[in-house]
Structure 1
Amino acid sequence: MVDSKRAEAEIAALGEIPTIRSVVETYIAARDARHAAQGGRGKSDAHRRLARHVLSDSALSATQFHTLTSERLKKWISGLPANLKGSTIRRLCNDMKAALNGGVEAHRAQMPADLAARIKAGLTAGEDSQPVARDKQALPDADIRRIIEAALAVDARDAWDGDLYRMVLVMSATGARFSQLMRLTVSDVQAAHGRLMVPSSRKGRGKKKTTHIPVRVGSDVIEALRPALHDRRPDEPLLLRWRHRQEKDPSNKGRPKWVRENRGPWTNAAELTRPWLEILAEAGLPQSVVPYALRHSSIVRQLRKALPVQLVAKAHDTSAAIIERHYAAAIVDALDDLSAAAVIPLVPERTDNVLPMRALDAG
């Protein structure tokens, strides 16, 4: 007891004792600032997850950071809502780990030497939740074409001026994340080489070795993008969309109507939510199909063509480990096809239909 109080006094002497809440709020502020710097609007995804599942837990939030144990973290994970998807739990645990490790670094002088180990041990349960088999979410090529055709129809009907169609087409052709595509510039279209230079994602830690990922696309995609290239500077955003504002309509008793205000780059995946549902309705596909299915489909398509896993991972700006973890069935199918192609007949063909018979033993 005396040693515990002495330790508490030594920690307090170094400054205000941090809590889980203060550490997490510091991390949220940093994530929100990065989100805004990248052109995002509102709160970051990490903000929403941590506010809902950490800051709302008053007992956990009030815990003094240096007293945190692996058992307390495991208890927090086991108390998460039962309806949370495994992928959501993994993202939440990754956010929590980043926040807590940041706190360890910022308050190292006040923290016990084994705190980082406690954090790692406590959050392992959440990280090890069963991975989603994403190859099951991939769509047949025929459905991809239906989505693109429907996007063209919705684009024309709702006067998108080709903006919606081009976004959906490029998503389908590259399998890139929305956050990458909204940063494409005019110069990233290398028409002569039939490829797009897709900006690297900002996921992961540290500085990436490359700024762009070369992705081959068909000549049909290049032709569809030409109107977005005409008479524009190389550094301008490639994919744009109209924004609207409400104003009173004198011809309709002053009721509000939406009018175009300005045209600029896409800034958030949520901007695609409403038109995406209209596209699915037009294509006759279930409303449960999400835009990310276009990425899954691109990855599975390349795997089924027997492209090396490392190459598929590089083209989609992810790791071979992630591909192997989430698209195992597609890899097995491709390897099975390759193995089947290597099978050759081994039994010699016979020119007669007479099978040799063993001589019968005498007597």
Structure 2
Amino acid sequence: MANTLTEAQITTAKARSRLGLGVHWRRLDTEAHLGYRKGKRSGVWLVRWRNHYDGADYRQAPIGIANDINDKPAEGTLTFDQATKEARDYVARSRTVAAAQAAGPAPTVLTAVEAYINERNARDSRRSGREVRSDAGHRLRRYVLGQEKRGNQEAIPAAPLAAVELHALKEDDLLTWRDELPEELKATTKQRLTNDLKAALNAAWPRLSAEQKKLNPTFLAIVKDGFKAERIDDDDDASTARDNQILTDAQVGNLLRAAAEIDAEQESEGDLYRLVVCLAATGARFAQVRRMRVSNAQLKERRLMMPGSYKGRGGNGGSVPIPVGDDVIEVLLPAIVGRPKEAPLFERWSYEQEPHSITWKRSERGPWKTAELTRPWRAIRQRAGLPEVIPYSLRHTSIVRGLRNGLPIQQVAKLHNTSVTMIERHYAKYIATALEALARAAVVPLVPQQGGNVVTIAGRGR
């Protein structure tokens, strides 16, 4: 190509009609040109460009068919202005890809999610004291990265989104992925999954090189807009499920009696019973209770200092004092008296299989682990005649109990290590009922009575 470009008159259909057969060029920038190839029957728009990063020769690509009849937009053809826009966009995309390749292997959604899963697994392993896989990792592998065939479980292909390079990520990519999630997934499950993927992509931004950040400076805005929270449409279902988990005092008592019986049958030495009693008395999450230390039980003050939850964006450090009754303290005493202050308050026996035998024996005592309440809880709820009740029902019940007893919403939220917003969102009708009860208690007789009959107010007609 000559160093000096002679630009052709290709801006209008009339001007193009006077050109001879062949290709005619017009400048887009110093190293990009819009071309018009005139044929015997019709004309075609072309673009050629040179990438700044690879220094290669000019590349060329077709853009579309030219509208050589008039200069008005028409389906299937492009005017000069339309072709110019298409050409500029094409060159910009090509140069972005070239720049990403020059900066090194282009990071993708897959690499971002894998890095995030590794970070979450490492964090959860540190917290539990053993090698574990995070819940976020399970969700993201199933619905983003894909999974290989495991036993009777069929292989799950990766979502198309996984292959998208971060510099080329668009809002539509995220919306399409979200729309293609299985319809049978609950709205709350979809939102958790969405939050996991959003966190993975946001975490990838600091790891990108300065050059890669230049390629898509709107990356964080794209992630934010693509994952805007949608209104959960199954609020009625969620509310009904929560109603079924609000227990009466008698039902809580049945669960505790069942826990004591299962504990005795399994020779757990009170470990299981103490744990369930604490869950019922405090309304705390299992993840909080299992992290308690002996020093968190303050006998003289009759209170438990509950560690903050890992949920949320920090701010949950320290402990919250929760008053408990003498009956709860009495149950916990065997785990407190004579034990070091830094020892875990709730422990249980672990078992190991004897070599060359099917016999299991006790190995050592240690703190409860993430999923170890699942199996004994099944036995507890069956024994109590409450087959649908989950451990979290003790938390729901504790929150509602506080509201019904007239505690301020702020205090209920503080005791349960959550926010006023969450309490108002999920327990609104219980708040309304509790406030009505308080208002009713303030009602006093106002209408004067005499001899058991209502006195007619003076001035009123009969």
CA distance in 2, matches of 1:186, 1:358: 74
Q: What SS is found at the alignment partner of 1:152?
A: helix
Gaps of 5+ in 2: 1-89, 147-157
**Greater CA drift, 114-123 or 150-159:** 114-123
Aligned to 1:321: 421
1:220 maps to amino acid:
D
Which stretches in structure 1 are left out of the alignment for 5+ residues?
A: 249-253
Corresponding residue for residue 77 of structure 2: none
Show the counterpart of 2:134. 44
- The corresponding residue for 1:266 is 368
**2:296 aligned partner:** 188
Corresponding residue for residue 203 of structure 1: 311
Determine if contact 1:244/1:260 at 8 Å carries over to the other structure: yes
Mean Cα deviation higher: 304-313 or 209-218 = 209-218
Q: Distance in 2 between matches of 1:339 and 1:75?
A: 50
Tell me the equivalent position of 1:32: 121
Counterpart of 1:316, as a letter, is H
| Alpha carbons of structure 1 residues 98 and 353: separation in structure 2 relative to 1, 3 Å | closer
| Partners of 2:297 and 2:305 within 8 A in 1 | yes
| Map of 1:285 onto structure 2 | 386
CA distance in 2, matches of 1:38, 1:67: 36
What is the aligned partner in structure 1 of residue 359 from structure 2?
Answer: 257
Distance 1:201 1:353 in 2: 58
Structure 2 match to 1:251 = none
**Greater Cα offset, 135-144 or 31-40:** 135-144
Secondary structure, aligned partner of 1:8: helix
Q: CA deviation at 1:129?
A: 5.4
**What is the deviation of 1:255?**
6.4
- Cα 1:67–1:127 change in 2 (3 A) is farther
* Paired letter, 2:102: A
In the alignment of these two chains, the number of paired residues is 351
- Alignment-derived partner of residue 219 in structure 2: 115
Which position in structure 1 is the counterpart of 2:192?
A: 91
Shift of 1:216: 1.0
- Residues of 2 paired with 1:201 and 1:27: CA distance? 21
Which has the larger helix fraction?
1
Q: For residues 23 and 49 of structure 1, what CA distance do their matches in structure 2 show?
A: 15
Distance 2:206 2:233 in 1: 27
Give RMSD over aligned pairs.
2.1
Which letter maps to 2:256?
I
| Alpha carbons of structure 1 residues 113 and 130: separation in structure 2 relative to 1, 3 Å | farther
Query: 1:260 is aligned with what amino acid?
Result: R
Counting aligned pairs with the same residue, the percent is: 44
The farther-off stretch of 273-282 and 9-18 is 9-18
Residue of structure 1 in register with 2:412 after alignment: 312
State the Cα distance separating 1:93 from its structure 2 match.
1.3
Flag the structure with larger Rg. Answer: 2
Distance verdict in 2 for CA 1:76–1:127, change over 3 Å: farther
Find 2:281's aligned residue among 170, 173, 181.
173
Q: What does 1:1-363 align with in structure 2 at a 5 Å threshold? A: 1-39=90-128, 41-56=131-146, 57-107=158-208, 109=210, 110-111=212-213, 112-126=216-230, 128=232, 130-131=234-235, 132-133=238-239, 135-136=242-243, 137-206=245-314, 208=315, 210-247=317-354, 256-268=358-370, 270-286=371-387, 288-351=388-451, 358=461
Deviation (angstroms), 1:344: 2.8
The 2-side partners of 1:276 and 1:82 are apart by: 30
Tell me, yes or no, if the aligned pair for 1:135 and 1:300 is still in contact at 8 Å.
no
Closer, same or farther: CA 120–353 of 1 in aligned 2, 3 Å: closer
Rounded Cα–Cα distance in structure 1 between residues aligned with 2:353 and 2:399: 41
Between the aligned partners of 1:33 and 1:337, the Cα distance in structure 2 is 49
- TM superposition shift of 1:125: 4.2
Residue 198 to residue 318, structure 1, CA distance change in 2 (3 Å): same
Alignment partner of 1:193: what SS?
coil
The alpha-carbon deviation at position 73 of structure 1 amounts to: 1.4
**In structure 1, how many angstroms separate the alpha carbons of the residues matched to 2:117 and 2:184?**
24
List per-residue Cα deviations over 1:236-282 (Å, max 9, x = no partner): 0010111112237xxxxx962222111111121x2111111111121
Find the aligned partners of 2:409 and 2:242 in 1 and give their Cα distance. Answer: 14
Given that residues 143 and 159 in structure 2 are in contact (C-alpha distance below 8 angstroms), is that contact kept between their aligned partners in structure 1? Answer: no
Aligned partner letter, 1:324: E
Change in CA separation of 1:279 and 1:10 when aligned onto 2, cut-off 3 Å: same
CA shift, 1:342, in A, is: 2.3
**Cα distance between partner residues in 1 of 2:376 and 2:397:** 20
Query: Residues 15-48 of structure 1, C-alpha deviation per residue, up to 9 Å, x if partnerless?
Result: 3211000000110000000010001543111110
Q: Is the 8 A contact 1:20 1:61 kept in 2?
A: yes
